[in-house]
Amino acid sequence: MLALIAAVIVVSALLSGMIEKSGFPQVAVFLGLGALIGPAGLNLLDADLHSPILRVVATLSLVLVLFTDAVSINLKEVRQHRLLSALVLGPGTLFSALLIAGLSWWWLGLNPASAAILGAALASTDPVLLRGLLRRREVAAGVRQVLRLEGGLNDAVLLPIVLVGMTILGQGRALTGKEWAQLGLNILILSPAAGAVVGLAAVGMLELVRRRIGVRRDYESIYSLGVAFAAFAAAESVHGSGFLAAFAAGLVISAVDVELCDCFLEYGETTAEMALMFTFVLFGTSLIWTGLGIAGVGTLFFAAAVFGARLLAFIPALLPARLSWKHRWLIAWFGPRGLSSLLLVLLPVFAGLPGSEGLLTICCLVVLCSVVLHGLSPMVLIRSEPDSPDVRESSPPFPILAAPHPAPASGPIVLDDPDYISIEEIQRLQQQRSVPVVIVDSRSERTYEESTEAIPGAIRLHPDRAVQEAEQHKIAKGDVLAVLCA
């Protein structure tokens, strides 16, 4: 097992640069790795529905997906674009779920509860598949903004629908008024409250220790992961939803402790992505390919109709927003179904509810179609637009350094601390005309946007595009970079 884990990590890391440059969907590589080690390949692992590994990894992944989504939310951006957020999460997401649920009931003959679960799961936009798209500089700022908001928030809107459908499906009958009240209490009050309490307590304890003792920055990332799991456990212990609690805890951290958010995004998000990667690999061993077993005219028509339902929901929903028609169509198309859809539909499967395995098989077929269509379509639909206002806004113009620079001084530069450079040391090096010193602001996008402070004369390099933007600003390779990255 350790050898398989090592192989997956090493191969994924080595291929990551080539995959990103090619535009090929990275998720397809994970599924391919799963198929290679699965029964159809080397037969080293088979993670079926009864595999305890799948249950544990899938549960952890959904917790981390929801927590990461919440922590990554830029509440300032949400407030600035309240109308857009409301349109995406209200009529856009909910109407998509309603259309898919109605299609599932009419075309597939599912009962209303099962149709609601499938509709909610297939209306979920997968943040893993979106991540590669949102990193492309060719994507207009308006499109990126909408998809980032949707990827971070829509699971919290759709998860309650899945939980309600599971309750009705488990009862096998309509719920009484008392049962509806209890369900509403658990979903709307108990679960979010448990997550909020854990989040507030965690931030309070961390702040206390920060002031009195100090906490290493890398351990704050690990701390945030512990908060996510603690929120899940707290809600489950009082018969609430641990998944909603994890989202609520992340939302609290996003609102009150930006520093912890940035620490999590530096390391904790990598841990979350690793869990998601392994979940895709486990699905790829055999489970996701069961979707191909039901492929036919009827089921493929259903998959196409699922993608069409998003277009029917989002085009009208985005009409009040100040977006071009081209960008509305791109947003309506790029709603990839992926791991979040699979994880949501796995909840009734793990609960042993009747007919849930059939829902998973249908979901697997739609996800496979989505990986192909949404994974490859950016290479066709997204073109570089150097003169587009959206692209210029996404990369604000900073002063270009004059070139060429004088040659750096010979010999190593000696600093008091090899990991940090003080202001006095910057000034000393700047006085040595033979040693060009470039002050770089490479704070995370979230911290940079919310900060009111800036270093005079500093050049902004986005941490995800540092090399490309350094070349754009004509920074010489021999220059000394004094980087603000907190």
In the chain, the amino acid numbered 247 is F
**pLDDT band at residue 418 using 50, 70 and 90 as cut-offs:** low
Q: Three-state DSSP class for 19?
A: helix
CA distances from 64 to 68, 127, 133, 173 (A): 6, 12, 20, 33
Within 10 angstroms of residue 427's Cβ, the number of other Cβ atoms is 10
End-to-end CA distance of the chain: 37
Q: What is the pLDDT of residue 373?
A: 86
Average pLDDT rounded to a whole number, residues 339-344? 87
Phi, psi for residue 438 in degrees, rounded to 5: -110, 120
- Tens digits of residue pLDDT in 93-135: 999 999 999 999 999 999 999 999 999 999 988 776 776 677 6
Would you say residue 300 has pLDDT above 50?
yes
Query: What's the rounded Cα separation, in Å, for the pair 102 and 115?
Result: 7
Instruction: Name which residue leads in pLDDT, 14 or 406.
Output: 14
Q: What is the pLDDT of residue 201?
A: 92
In the chain, the amino acid numbered 332 is A
CATH of domain 2-392: 1.20.1530.20
Q: What is the pLDDT of residue 198?
A: 93
- Residue count (the chain): 486
Q: Which two tokens stand for residue 421?
A: 């450079």
Nearest C-alpha neighbor of 465 from the set 12, 135, 134, 26: 135
Q: Which two tokens stand for residue 403?
A: 């070139």
Taking only Cα atoms into account, the Rg of the chain, rounded to an integer number of angstroms, comes to 24
Q: What is the CA 464 to chain-centroid distance, rounded? A: 15
Domain ranges of the chain: 2-392, 398-484
In sequence order, the β-bridge partners of residue 483 are: 440
Q: What is the pLDDT of residue 406?
A: 45
Query: What's the rounded Cα separation, in Å, for the pair 106 and 280?
Result: 30
**Largest Cα–Cα distance in the chain?**
81
List, as own/partner pairs, every contact residues 40-44 make where C-beta atoms lie below 8 angstroms and the sequence separation is at least 24, other chains included: 40/286, 40/289, 44/4
Would you say residue 404 has pLDDT above 50?
no
CATH of domain 398-484: 3.40.250
Nearest C-alpha neighbor of 201 from the set 248, 268, 155, 239: 248
* Helix spans in 123-268 (H): 127-134, 141-171, 177-184, 191-212, 217-237, 242-256, 258-263
Lowest mean pLDDT among 13-22, 54-63, 143-152, 367-376: 13-22
- Tens digits of residue pLDDT in 446-466: 667 666 677 777 888 877 677
Phi, psi for residue 47 in degrees, rounded to 5: -95, 90
- Tens digits of residue pLDDT in 193-216: 999 999 999 888 888 888 888 777
Would you say residue 136 has pLDDT above 50?
yes
